[in-house]
Amino acid sequence: MYIEKGIKRVCNFIEAGNDRDGMMLLRDIEANVMRYDFEIMGDGFNQFASIYVSMKNRKKAIEMYQKAILYYREIGNQDKVKDISEKFENLIL
């Protein structure tokens, strides 16, 4: 529950243009994440990447997609890895 609420707050910070506070909160969330929260974190990073893509912040979107892929690989969710990898490749190309 803490992770999901934190991800929502990070999304709100990013959408409001307050990256600094959003990234500070995100680091705090990552420091406290447990293995069973990895899918939630992957979903969160995917959301952050989508927000950054809509804001045309390519560098941050790439960073968020990379982190999402790492979390999904850790739990073995190959379908999500494939989906995000395609988005990542489209963004790079």
Residue spans of the domains in the chain: they are 2-92
pLDDT surpasses 90 at 39: yes
**Helix, strand, coil proportions of the chain in percent (round to 5)?**
85, 0, 15
What average pLDDT score do residues 26-43 get? 92
Architecture of domain 2-92 in this structure: Alpha Horseshoe (1.25)
**Averaged confidence pLDDT in the chain:** 94
Contact 3, 47 (CB under 8 A): no
What pLDDT does residue 32 have? 87
**Mean pLDDT of the 3-22 span:** 94
Helix (H) or strand (E) holding 65: helix 58-75
Neighbours of 60 (CB within 10 A): 17
Q: Kindly tell me if the per-residue pLDDT of 84 is higher than 90.
A: yes
Give the model's pLDDT for residue 93. Answer: 87
- Calculate what percentage of the chain has a pLDDT beyond 90: 89
Categorize the per-residue pLDDT at 41 as very low, low, confident or very high, splitting at 50, 70 and 90. Answer: very high
pLDDT of 3 > 80? The answer is yes
User: Max Cα separation, the chain?
Assistant: 36
Coil, helix or strand at residue 10: helix
CB 9 within 8 A of CB 26: no
